[in-house]
Structure 1
Amino acid sequence: MITLHHLNNSRSQRILWFLEELGVPYQIQRYQRDSLTMLAPVELQKIHPLGKSPVLVDGDLTLAESGAIIEYLQEVYDEQEVFKPTDLRARQEYRYWLHYAEGSLMPLLVMKLVLNRLGLPPVPWVIRPLAGAIGKGVQKGYLDKQIATHRNYLEQHLNKSAWFVGNAFSAADIQMSFPLEAMAGRGGLDECPQLQNFLQRVHARPAYQRALEQGGPFIMPE
């Protein structure tokens, strides 16, 4: 049976969601972040050397990286190809969004999370004011502009189609959900009705709701 090593408030939430969409049997091994550092517990290093989540174990196969896990689950368990387009050109677009989510978009949002926390513990109190000011300066002068470019790009894309690959829901939408959750919390989606609508439709899916029941509350760190 599949085992998902699930860290709270992490990328593993979308793997849990995909397992629910697929309807395959699985079990969860739960882990909790350190409340101060927000880091994963060292116990995860026993499952994968990097100590990150998600990690999926299926028989003698251990997989990390959410994009790789999603591709594996789709190839092995989505026999009818419900979650992957059949058209060759659409498949290329599907592949693009699977890589774009973590390759281009998520690094900016992780950087914003780090810069937001420079003025907070565990940064030593004596340098918190300076560190916080540096963090705000970098965000204002560089990072927020980059995030805005991506936000506008994604909003315009969803003006053309209901989902990221045409009008059919796919695993690419599952992969894209996490950075958009992060963008909503860190970059804001107030002027992006299409992206807001995307998240609302995602949250309304029965499988997404079941994943929340299985994994517990999902709160995106700001």
Structure 2
Amino acid sequence: MEELELPYALETYERDPVTMRGGSALTSHSPFGKAPAIVDGDLELSESGAIIAHILDRYAGGRLQPEPGTDAWSRHAMLMHMAEATAMPALTVDLIETMGAEVPQAIRWIPGPTGAEVLDQLAALLDHRAYVLGDDLTAADIQMWFVMRAASARQDFRSYPTLGTYLDRLEARPAFAAAVARGGPVEMHAA
């Protein structure tokens, strides 16, 4: 919303400190009590990728995405979904292990690649590029920010200087600063 300079109202919800669930107020907008969630008229949506796709479709006027029907648009869609479907599950498995918990073998197959393999691929993708599709920010970069922020908690993140520079570039954008000023800093806790 900040990148598109669109007006919006922000509501925050306190999470239960034990379960980390959003509570009944958030559940009224999101079936599983997950954030983010949006209410746009009568439409209520959760899941980051769906929210971003909705905003792009209704309000972006072609901004923050390649032209539909092109190969670049298809790669953009792939990267949008890769953030949640491949990258975050792999990084979450790694995070669980760094917390000292054992990840059952039956769970390991779900993400496919390891967190390191995900970061290797993203570093290769960003080699000689400012953003995941080239010189211009797209919604895929906005979606990938959370992946980078989660990855930055890894002890080996500094061995991926391209990714560190990418994260810094995303967080240096005026729209990012405006979002943080409005919503507060993003805090990630391992336990």
TM norm structure 2: 0.87
TM norm structure 1: 0.75
Match of 2:160 in 1: 192
Q: 1:53-112 deviations in whole A, cap 9, x for unaligned?
A: 111111111111100110110111111x22011271111110110010001011122334
Deviation at 1:205, TM superposition (A): 0.4
> Does the C-alpha gap of structure 1 residues 185 and 191 become closer, same or farther in structure 2, counting only changes over 3 Å?
same
Match of 1:180 in 2: 148
**1:214 aligned to 2:173?**
no
- Partners of 2:149 and 2:167 within 8 A in 1: yes
> Does the C-alpha gap of structure 1 residues 39 and 109 become closer, same or farther in structure 2, counting only changes over 3 Å?
farther
Q: 1:132-165 deviations in whole A, cap 9, x for unaligned?
A: 4636x98xx999x811111111111111422101
SS in structure 2 at match of 1:57: strand
Match of 1:27 in 2: 9
Amino acid at match of 2:126: L
Correspondences of 1:6-17 after superposition (within 5 Å): none
Distance 2:152 2:187 in 1: 12
Decide which structure has the larger Cα Rg and report it: 1
Distance 1:23 1:67 in 2: 19
Match of 2:51 in 1: 69
**1:162 aligned to 2:143?**
no
Q: 1:10-48 deviations in whole A, cap 9, x for unaligned?
A: xxxxxxxxx111111110111122233333223211222
**1:58 aligned to 2:40?**
yes
Structure 1, unmatched stretches of 5+, are 1-18, 118-131
Specify which structure has the higher proportion of strand. 1
Deviation at 1:189, TM superposition (A): 1.4
Deviation at 1:116, TM superposition (A): 4.7
Specify which structure has the higher proportion of helix. 1
**Higher normalized contact order (CA 8 Å, seq sep 6+, divided by chain length):** 1
Distance 1:109 1:161 in 2: 23
> Does the C-alpha gap of structure 1 residues 187 and 58 become closer, same or farther in structure 2, counting only changes over 3 Å?
farther
> Does the C-alpha gap of structure 1 residues 31 and 89 become closer, same or farther in structure 2, counting only changes over 3 Å?
same
Distance 2:97 2:19 in 1: 14
Amino acid at match of 1:85: P
Distance 1:24 1:133 in 2: 42
> Does the C-alpha gap of structure 1 residues 21 and 105 become closer, same or farther in structure 2, counting only changes over 3 Å?
same
Amino acid at match of 1:32: E
> Does the C-alpha gap of structure 1 residues 133 and 211 become closer, same or farther in structure 2, counting only changes over 3 Å?
closer
Q: CA RMSD in A?
A: 2.4
Amino acid at match of 2:188: M
> Does the C-alpha gap of structure 1 residues 160 and 78 become closer, same or farther in structure 2, counting only changes over 3 Å?
same
- Partners of 1:113 and 1:221 within 8 A in 2: no
Distance 1:108 1:40 in 2: 24
Distance 1:134 1:171 in 2: 34
- Partners of 1:185 and 1:221 within 8 A in 2: no
- Count residues in correspondence: 185
Distance 1:181 1:23 in 2: 23
Correspondences of 1:25-174 after superposition (within 5 Å): 25-79=7-61, 81-86=62-67, 88-117=70-99, 132=100, 134=102, 146-174=114-142
Structure 2, unmatched stretches of 5+, are none
